[in-house]
Amino acid sequence: MHDFRPTPGAAKPELYADLLLAADALTAGEPDGVANMANVAALMWDMLPQVNWTGFYRLIGGELVLGPFAGRPACIRIALGQGVCGAAAASGQTQLVADVHAFPGHIACDAASRSELVVPVMRDGAVIAVIDLDSPDLARFDAEDAAGIEALAALVASRI
């Protein structure tokens, strides 16, 4: 077992620096992408406060397919352009949604989710997956969270 709990009360940049170090340590040298996604999903669940879903959707055959995650069972397939995840995958842009009820086409996998952050994972200039985080709190995620998860996406891009 690994214990990567962050310093209590740590500021977000410090928290994400810890998350990145832990993700690097867990995935370095491991060639199995599913194992790496599973550990990174569990790590986000363990280290980030106020989240109710952390995980991956992979872009396969032109649609997003559920990957390793922590949280409640979720929608399995999402078309490109649909929902927050589909918007991130179609545009290649991070989606920071303060209130999911105000996002047109939001897909409610867990009715408890109120805000969401979705970051594309890019390899060789193309989207290969997205990292999705949900929170039961309104406006849980900000630019520091987006920057932290973008750094994580860049780290794992060659390892999933």
Name the residues that contact ligand SME, by CB under 6 A: 53, 74-75, 78, 83-86, 106-107, 109, 113, 116, 132, 134
Question: Can you list the pairs that 23-30 forms with residues at least 24 positions away whose Cβ atoms lie under 8 Å?
Answer: 23/152, 23/155, 23/156, 24/155, 26/2, 27/155, 27/156, 27/159, 28/159, 30/159
107/154 with CB nearer ligand SME = 107
Q: Closest residue (Cβ) to ligand SME?
A: 83
Task: Give the shortest CB-124-to-ligand SME separation in angstroms.
Answer: 24
Q: Which is nearer to ligand SME, 18 or 113 (CB)?
A: 113
Identify which of residues 15 and 64 has a Cβ nearer to ligand SME in the complex.
Answer: 64
Give 116 or 150: the residue with its C-beta nearer to ligand SME. 116
Sheet containing strand 77-79, strands side by side: 77-79, 63-71, 53-60, 126-135, 115-123, 95-97
Query: From the CB of 116, what's the least distance to ligand SME, in Å?
Result: 6
Shortest separation between residue 151's beta carbon and ligand SME, angstroms: 21
Helix axis angle, 33-47 relative to 12-27, nearest 10°?
150
